[in-house]
Amino acid sequence: MSILILKLLLAPALVVASSLAGRRWGPGLAGTLVALPIVAGPILGITCLEHGPHFASRAAGASLLGLVSLALFAVVFALLARVPRTGHWLVTLLLAWAACLVVDFALSAVADRTGPPVVALLLSLAATACGAKALARTGTDPVPVAPPAPPKWDLPARAVATALLVTALTTAAAQLGPDVTGVLAPFPIGTSVVATFALAQGGAAVAAATLRGVLRGLWGFAAFCFLVAALAQPLGGPAAFGIAAACTLALQLALGLVRTSLTARRVAAQAG
C-alpha cells in the first residue's frame, strides 16, 4: 500500500510544486525544476523498493542514456511549437513523443553494451549541451508579461497525468527489465505535462522558455542518475538516493549562482 501511495502522490506532488514555482518565478524556473529527477527519481526509488539495489543501479545507469532522448524531446517540442500549423499542443506533443520513443528503444537495445556509467554520463552531458545550443540558435522570443490565468482544472490535470504515467512504467518494470525501465525513466512525463500546458496556455515563447529551463536542469538529473548507479549496490538504496539527491540540489544551486553572476556581469557590461 505504501508503494502505491508513492506512485500516486510523490511525483505528481513534485510536478505540481514545480508548476506553482513557474507561475511565481517564470517558465524557465519551472522547466529547470521539472527537469530535476522529480519523476525519474520516484520511478527509480520505487523500482529499488520492489526489485532491489542491483536492479535500481542498472536502471539508473540506463537512465543516463534516456537523458539523450529527453534532450531531443525538448528541442523537437520547442521547434515544432513555432510551426504555425504543426504547433497545436497535441500534434506537437505526439510528434515529440514519437521522436523520443524511437531514440529510447534504440538506446535500450545497446544499454547493456555501453560500458561503465561514466560513458553514458558523458553521452548525456554532450546531448544536453547540443540541445541547449540548438535552442539558443532559434532565438528567444519575448515571453508574455501576463500570460492568461490557468483554468481551475490545470493543477489536478497535471497531477493525474503524471500519476498515470508513473504508475504505468513502474508496474511494467518487471516485464521490461532494468535497461528498458531505466531508459524510459527519464521519459518526459513531468516535462510533457509542464511544456504542453505552457504551450496551450502561453504559446510557443513560453514553451520554449520552459524547455530551455529543462535543458539547464538536466545537468543535475545526470548527476543524480550517475550517483545512484554508482552507489546503490555498495551503500544500499536509501543512502545512495539520499546522497544523490543532496548532490543534485547542491549542483543545481551552484550552477544557478554561476548563471546569475554571469548574467549580472553581462548586464553591467552592456550598461557601461
pLDDT in tens, 170-186: 777 767 788 888 888 88
The answer to whether 190 and 40 have CB atoms below 8 angstroms apart is: no
For 53-63, give one letter per residue: b (16+ CB within 10 A) or e.
Answer: bebbbbbbbbb
Cα–Cα nearest to 211, from 131, 99, 98, 122: 131
For the stretch 50-104, pLDDT in tens is 889 998 898 899 899 999 999 999 999 999 988 876 668 888 999 999 999 999 8
- 8 Cβ neighbours under 8 A, 6+ residues apart: 163, 167
Query: From CA 250, how far away is CA 256, in angstroms rounded?
Result: 10
Cell 545512484 belongs to residue: 228
The pLDDT of residue 148:
58
6: helix, strand or coil: helix
- First vs last Cα of the chain: how many Å apart? 61
Whole-angstrom distance, CA of residue 82 vs CA of residue 46: 37
pTM of the model: 0.78
Cβ–Cβ < 8 Å for 188, 15: no
Q: How far apart are CA 3 and CA 49, in angstroms?
A: 8
Domain boundaries, the chain: 2-271
CA dist., res. 5 & res. 12, Å (int) = 11
Alpha helices in the chain (DSSP H): 2-25, 27-35, 40-51, 53-81, 89-110, 117-137, 154-171, 173-184, 189-202, 204-235, 237-271
Q: In the 8-state DSSP scheme, what is residue 113?
A: G
Asked if the model's pLDDT at residue 151 lies above 50, the reply is: yes
Please tell me the predicted confidence (pLDDT) of residue 86.
65
pLDDT by residue (tens digit) across 5-62?
Answer: 666 666 777 777 776 776 676 665 665 666 667 777 877 888 888 889 998 898 899 8
